[in-house]
Structure formats: C-alpha cells, structure tokens
C-alpha cells in the first residue's frame, strides 16, 4: 500500500502553481508569507527582512492568493532573496493558501515552518528566536503582543477586546494551554506537529480562516510542546489593513472559533 492509502483520511491539497523556485539552500527551515494585493506593505516587509538577513535563517516562500496590484514583480522578489513564489489556483482564502505552502514545505522536507502575514503589521525581528525555539524542541511557537516583552500599537479596540475576552479565553479553555493572542498569524511549527496524521491539516474543510484556530486547539490537546513568544504588532493609523470585513467577517471568525473549540474540525479515525 502507498503512504497515502495508509492514511486515515482522504488527503486534500489545493491546486497551486510554482511560479519560480530557487534551490533549497540546505536549510531545515522555511518562512511562509501569504499575500493578496498587499501593495507596498509586502515590499516594506521584504525590505525589513532583507536588512535582517532572514534568508540566512530560512528559505522565504510567498504564497499568493491572486494578486492583481503588480506588487509581486519577480525581479524584485528575487532581489529580496525570496526563495519561491507559489500561486493558489483553487478556491478558498487564507487556509487554502497556507495548505499550498505547507504542501511545498512537506515535499522539500523542511523540518520547521514559520508563518508571518504579508501586510507588514508584524515586526520580523523575532523570526530567528522562533527558529531557535523549534531547535530546542518546541512544536508550536505563537507570537503574542500581549505577554511581557510584547507590544501592541494602534490595535482597534473592538479587536483587542474580542481577542482578550473571547477568542483567547475560549481556545485556552478548550485546548488546555494558556493562549493570549490566538488570532495572530505570526507563528512557527515543527514538521512533526504540522504533518502529523492525527492533526491532518490536508483536508478540504480548511479553506478560509479555520486552520489557525484549529491548530491552536489541537496542538496542546495532542500533547505537542507549545509556547508563546513576545512580538510587536503595529496597526497603521487610519485604515486598518485586513481581509476580514467588519461585521460579517468577524461573525464568521466567531463561528470558526466555536467549531474549533468544540472539536468540529477534529480528524476522526476511520
């Protein structure tokens, strides 16, 4: 029997194209950046990472959800030491994008995966620290602006209260681990955790924003080693860069939260 036939679930990977990819530089770690029409925000982030020489710690992989604003010029990306650009061609939003990148990371046998949003709200300075935590044996490293050493700047009040009073407490109770910043996409995972068959991330149910909440729930439940690390998250003054609409989008996030907390995304043994 093949490896896939031995799995306890039917694996699903969204369709994607590899627009370009450099050679894997004998590293065990990659950095995944999901983007769609981020404009100058992704340029600012890549410039900051280039100054920090992040590419010397991890191969940088950008996964595009369908950018049309011209911000992903290939020559520019290569000048910023981006290792690969992937284009999701299947339906879906953030979770589908992440699955494309995680499939790529699995194929190239990376041992650890860091993710950071492409909208330049997160300071990339802690990325080497996240990788060091993976090397120490942690399986899930979560950035938090709310713990000692973390910084939150211009966070919209409604979002701040929703995270502190609803999202983080619900997932903390459900998972058995004390989380403080559970909507944060700035994270790191060990391959051991992310590709575990009991975690089973490669399923079609993970299409929009389900995957982040599910992983925060399932990691501690299955006994994987988790930790939060301080980070700086800065919202620009004025318009908030987000792909989540104010009312409908936030209601969808709450629906996802409670489905995750009640185990609705759990992989059942067949």
Domain ranges of the chain: 8-153+181-208+223-234
Domain 8-153+181-208+223-234 has CATH 3.30.1180.20: no
Q: What is the DSSP string of 109-150?
A: T-SEEEE--TTS-B-STTHHHHHHHHHTT-SEEEEESSSTT-
Q: Give me the phi and psi of 228, to 5 degrees please.
A: -105, 145
State which H helix or E strand residue 237 sits in.
Answer: none
Please identify which residue in the block is written with the tokens 């029997």: 1
pTM (2 d.p.)? 0.92
Residue 140 pairs in a beta bridge with 189, 226
Residue recorded with tokens 């950035």: 143
> Contacts for 156-160 with beta carbons within 8 Å, 24 or more apart?
156/235, 156/240, 159/183
Distance CA 12, CA 250 (A): 27
What band does 249 get if pLDDT is binned at 50, 70 and 90?
low
Q: Give 81-138 pLDDT, tens digit per residue.
A: 999 999 999 999 999 999 999 999 999 999 999 999 999 999 999 999 999 999 999 9
């Amino acid at each position: 029997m093949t490896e896939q036939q031995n799995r306890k679930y039917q694996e699903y990977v969204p369709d994607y194209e590899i627009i370009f990819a450099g050679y894997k530089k004998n590293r065990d770690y990659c950095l995944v950046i999901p983007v769609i029409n981020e404009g100058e925000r992704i340029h600012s982030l890549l410039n900051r990472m280039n100054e920090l020489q992040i590419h010397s710690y991890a191969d940088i992989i950008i996964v595009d959800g369908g950018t049309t604003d011209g911000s992903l010029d290939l020559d520019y990306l290569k000048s910023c030491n981006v290792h690969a650009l992937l284009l999701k061609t299947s339906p879906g939003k953030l979770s589908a994008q992440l699955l494309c990148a995680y499939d790529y990371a699995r194929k190239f046998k990376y041992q650890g995966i860091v993710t950071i949003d492409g909208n330049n709200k997160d300071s990339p300075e802690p990325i080497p620290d996240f990788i060091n935590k993976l090397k120490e044996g942690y399986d899930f490293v979560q950035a938090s602006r709310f713990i000692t050493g973390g910084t939150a700047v211009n966070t919209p009040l409604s979002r701040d209260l929703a995270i502190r009073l609803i999202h983080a407490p619900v997932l903390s109770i459900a998972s058995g681990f004390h989380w403080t910043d559970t909507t944060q996409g700035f994270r790191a995972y060990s391959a051991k955790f992310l590709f575990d068959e009991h975690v089973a991330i490669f399923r079609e149910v993970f299409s929009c924003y389900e995957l982040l909440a599910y992983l925060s729930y399932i990691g501690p439940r299955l006994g994987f080693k988790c930790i939060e690390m301080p980070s700086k998250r800065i919202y620009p003054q004025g318009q908030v860069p987000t792909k989540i609409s104010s009312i409908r989008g936030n209601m969808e996030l709450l629906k996802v939260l409670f489905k995750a907390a009640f185990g609705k995304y759990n992989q059942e043994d067949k």
